[in-house]
Chain A
Amino acid sequence: MVPVDSDDLWFAYNLIAPGDSVMAVTVRKVLREAASGGRDAERVKLKLEIKVEAVDYDKVGTVLRIRGKNVLENEHVKIGAFHTLEIELQRPFVLRKGVWDSLALDVLHQASDPGASADLAVVLMQEGLAHILLVGRSMTTTRARIETSIPRKHGPAIAGYDSALNKFFENVLQAFLKHIDFSVVRCAVIASPGFTKDQFHRHLLLEAERRQLRPIIENKSRIILVHTSSGYKHSLREVLDAPNVMNMIKDTKAAQEVRALKDFFDMLSNDPDRACYGPKHVEVAHERLAIQTLLITDDLFRNADVETRKKYVNLVESVKGSGGTAHIFSSMHISGEQLAQLTGIAAVLRFPLPDLEDIEM
């Protein structure tokens, strides 16, 4: 497999579990005895296969580090020696798994599906605060955060307000140009409460005209304005919920997750006995075959030991088998984060189970 973009690395992270073996080309420092008797440390490029012990995902450097013991015979490296493989973009690697369970296959299918890429760039702002986020297929990353203090308008201080606001917009514009690449992103969304988005949009277009910024001028039509209630990151939910944005991304995972979580919260407020969260409650509900929709974060699979992982896999399979739906939330999306806060596993039930309240969580 060759990871092409950072989303693929995320899929790989989800796939690789302790116990699998990964083979890739890597560099290792090898000690060689030189003729003169002195030891020479040399960096040698070799192909190693290691049995995975731990996986680490580095978001900032977009690299996956896999630590494990060597299993392939090699002239430089002994079997059983520890090594850390670094998987980066565009570097092929081979993954061997003992058991390819349905979840892993799912992940593979998703990864190889070329179409369903969300890739939305969102500028979430309010007066004095702006976040630039990239909503990817399976991850949401914050590219920039800008915060300034903008004085309110009281009489003589109005001039100060205008200049402070313009400076703020200028900073956001710079960040916008730097991080948002229209060739990758489907569309850009500017979201804010009040009129800040309109003001910024106006500023953006004016500056683009003035400075002849081609990327913006060409993609004017791909900029959408959405209303949210605040400029904080959790308002991303509202952006993804907005109808005009929804149209663009309705077939993508991010949108589905947001919708599923919203349904869960709606159920919790309307009929609390038909919604439950927490591993214990969900298990009990499952025993009674009450689960209609299961929401679970991929976090739970990843860090678990084999037994727990198997248990969750079985849970997901049986829910699907009995006609329900299972949504696996990526913990890098905001809805996944929120679900993780809520213990990471939740379910919407077919029929109310009032006695769940009495069971300890």
Chain B
Amino acid sequence: MPRKVFDGVDYDDGYDDDYDYDDLDDADYYGKAQPSEPVKETIKRGTWSCPICTYDNDESMTACDICGVFRNPLPHMNNNHDKKTATAKTSDSSSAKTQWSKTNNVEDNNHVKDGVLRLQANNKASASSSISKESIPSMESSSKLSTGNEQLGDQVSGASSRRNRMGEGTPSVEEIRPQSHNRGMSKSDLPSKSRAPYKPEKWMLPEKEGSDLNQLNLAIVGHVDSGKSTLSGRLLHLLGRISQKQMHKYEKEAKIQGKGSFAYAWALDESPEERERGITMTVGVAYFDTKNYHVVVLDSPGHKDFIPNMISGATQADAAILVIDASIGSFEAGVDPTKGQTREHAQLIRSFGVDQLIVAINKMDVVEYSKERYDTIKQKLGAFLRLCGFKDLSVLWIPLSAMENQNLVSASSDARLRSWYQGPHLLDAIDSLQPPTRDISKPVVMPVCDVVKSQSTGQVSAIGKLASGALRSGSKVLVMPSGDVGTVRSLERDSRPCTVARAGDNVSVVLHGVEETNIMSGDVLCHPEFPVPTAKHVELKVLVLDGSAPIVIGSQLEFHVHHAKEAARVVKIISLLDPKTGKASKKTPRCLVAKQSAILEVVLNGSVCAEEYSNCKALGRVSLRSLGRTVAVGVITRLIED
């Protein structure tokens, strides 16, 4: 109901139900709109039914004939029309004014988009005239996005107009709330329901030909020194991503530094610190292609101190490779509950929603490819993985040796291994992973992993993986929590420029109009009309991992959500959850010990962009750490406003 829009708080329910965008057809929309025509342009699309009195109104009406209720969202960018109707109806209801400004905001946003998209637009002249008219109301609009785009009215592609239309619905809701309640980018602007009216543009949807390979983000995790970087380096080399000359260079330099065995790892560990110490400190990103996928490799650090960085990598992952060192003693050290990272990594990976895992048992050459060793490892680790929540079917076990290049991209040549192992090699295993589902049809949300300011060009670029939606050059984005609005200048994937980036793609977005100080790792790029909420006080549902100290009220922890981290404090333990039924079993327990699930409230030192898990998975997963261990993992159930 349009009226509900103005209520503010409970606009959520049912409002979208009556909405049908179906009859608003793209093709028709760009009819010959005459700028001067006050009444809707000619496009007669049919009728729309008034949500209140269910009278079938003509498409041309913005308000119901019978009851006078405004149609929401207002159709087309007929600003003139709207303006007129709006002014005419100003007297009708007090809400009309808001409606009008709302419309204008909508239009403005749309103009802004139009103006921006003009650069890429094919000149489908159709919608041009209608758009040019938009400039007039935009002056009156109070939207902050209206600056300077008025003149860019003219050529707008069909896609953009469609986007305009899409923008009509919910943004009208969204815009109102900030104005009427003066909350700016307040979190309740985006209830889950209101995402429904967002309709992705044509360019956002992937081409049907299927020529484009799916992108797969693969995180490589495991205990320190298990061979993650070496494995990645080997794979890149074997698949031709690193030239022979480059490889020789690495080998030579590594030998000089006395780290000859790290030659392959140097492909991923590029900084002098990492090379000198022989470890990975931050997540190394590399790209390679397999038969079915464009794979983005996220080589994570294994060291306990760098787990926050590993978490940054894990949030982007669709699938993971858990690398195990098969040598005697190392495997045991790795799975040690307190000192080893194998368990913690596996738990963290699972908590980030990864359910497909490849366990690569590396350094098999050291144990002479012994089947017994493989079986012991498989049994012990398998039990643990099952506990974590990985299904047996989605875990693949691959014995290999990165050093000797066995079982990586082709079946092993070593007789010992071949005698008892006939399974797939690593590359095949990667290919056999299920493609992850992508949320292309949601507004764009991209958590920023890293911000780089190029020295030479002075451009600011944000690197990250799109959690949902799509971007292309010229799209307008909003940086939360600073609230800066910028434009995408260009997109780069794998050091190659690309035109469109869709959900699941790991890209580097060169931004224009955003100050370097306003954007940093942990921020989120989102659609200007669908801002991501920020919060300082959240309610979480967590599972306490074993081996951690008890959590009491006042416990100080580190809160990690997507790439953001903040110091946090537990303020309330609301209830314990029964692990089997999931229902609250005890209210306000004194403390939380290992293996318990509970709902608690946490207050952060600074605000972060976060969303309820049910709305956006990427922004809803959290991990709590303290004293160098991950204490609990969970999801955000509610954002509490203070």
Contacts and interface: CB of A to CB of B under 8 A. Distances in A.
Contacts of A154: 270, 285, 450, 452, 463
A160 B455 contact: yes
Contacts of B277: 195
B453 interface: yes
A338 interface: yes
B303 A194 contact: yes
A75 B445 CA distance: 74
Contacts of B558: 230, 232
B255 interface: no
A159 interface: yes
Interface in B588-613: 588, 590-591, 593
Interface string B497-521: 0000000000000000000000011
Contacts of A229: 305, 625-629
Interface stretch (A22-30, A39-47, A180-188, A264-272): A264-272
A82 to B, nearest CB: 36
A126 to B, nearest CB: 8
A299 B590 CA distance: 22
Interface in A198-237: 199, 227-230, 232-234
Nearest to A227: B305
Nearest to B588: A361
Given A153-B282, A194-B281, A161 B271 contact: yes
Interface in A321-361: 338-343, 357, 361
Interface in B374-389: none
Contacts of A160: 452-455
A10 interface: no
Contacts of A238: 627
Contact of B590 (A228, A265, A272, A339): A272
Interface string B438-454: 00000000000111111
A153 B270 contact: yes
A193 interface: yes
- Interface core residue of B283, B306, B556, B626 (most chain A CB under 10 Å): B556
Contacts of A161: 271
A265 B452 contact: no
Contact of B282 (A152, A156, A193, A232): A152
Interface residues of A, number: 37
Interface stretch (B11-19, B130-138, B354-362, B546-554): B546-554
A338 B593 CA distance: 18
Interface in A298-312: none
A194 B520 contact: no
Given A194-B306, A229-B627, A234-B567, A158 B554 contact: no
Given A158-B270, A265-B549, A361 B590 contact: yes
Nearest to B281: A194
B569 interface: yes
Given A154-B463, A265-B549, A361-B590, A193 B554 contact: no
B273 interface: yes
Chain A's interface: helix, strand, loop or mixed, by majority?
helix
Contact of A272 (B282, B463, B556, B593): B593
A341 B569 contact: yes
B419 interface: no
A277 interface: yes
A54 to B, nearest CB: 27
Nearest to A266: B549
B495 interface: yes
A95 B155 CA distance: 83
Contacts of B273: 195, 199
Contacts of B306: 193-194
Interface in B242-295: 270-271, 273-274, 277, 281-283, 285
A36 B379 CA distance: 103
Interface in A122-164: 149, 151-161
Contacts of B271: 153, 158, 161
Given A155-B270, A268-B591, A338 B554 contact: yes
A279 to B, nearest CB: 14
Contacts of B454: 156-157, 160
Nearest to A241: B627
Given A155-B495, A194-B306, A195-B277, A342 B590 contact: no
Nearest to B586: A357
A272 B453 contact: no
A338 B556 contact: yes
A194 B309 CA distance: 11
Interface in A21-68: none
- Interface core residue of A155, A199, A340 (most chain B CB under 10 Å): A155
A329 to B, nearest CB: 13
B310 to A, nearest CB: 12
A152 B284 CA distance: 9
Nearest to A153: B271
Contacts of A232: 556, 558, 567
Contacts of A149: 451, 520-521
A194 B302 CA distance: 12
Nearest to B519: A149
Contacts of B309: 152
Interface string B561-593: 000000101000000000000000000101101
Contacts of A153: 270-271, 274, 282
Contacts of B281: 194-195
A269 B569 CA distance: 19
Given A234-B567, A357-B590, A193 B628 contact: yes
A153 B283 CA distance: 9
A269 B556 contact: no
A152 B625 CA distance: 21
A159 B549 CA distance: 41
Interface string B10-45: 000000000000000000000000000000000000
A230 B560 CA distance: 13
A230 B591 CA distance: 23
A72 B604 CA distance: 50
A234 B624 CA distance: 14
A123 B107 CA distance: 52
A22 B474 CA distance: 71
A227 B303 CA distance: 14
Contacts of B590: 272, 277, 357, 361
Contacts of B569: 341
Contacts of B626: 229
Contacts of A228: 628
Interface string B599-642: 00000000000000000000000000111110000000000000
Contacts of B495: 155
B550 A265 contact: yes
- Interface core residue of A161, A230, A269 (most chain B CB under 10 Å): A230
Nearest to A159: B455
Contact of A194 (B285, B305, B553): B305
B552 A151 contact: no
A194 B556 CA distance: 20
B314 to A, nearest CB: 15
Contacts of B308: 230
A342 B554 contact: yes
B452 A151 contact: yes
Contacts of B552: 268, 277, 342
Contacts of B451: 149, 151
A103 B453 CA distance: 58
B331 to A, nearest CB: 25
Nearest to B606: A147
Contacts of B449: 152
Given A154-B450, A268-B552, 14 more contacts: A149-B451, A151-B521, A152-B282, A157-B452, A161-B271, A194-B306, A227-B305, A229-B305, A230-B628, A238-B627, A268-B550, A340-B554, A341-B555, A361-B588
6 contacts: A149-B451, A160-B454, A160-B455, A229-B627, A233-B567, A238-B627
Lowest 6 CB-CB distances: which A-B pairs, in order? A341-B554, A229-B628, A234-B556, A149-B520, A193-B305, A232-B567
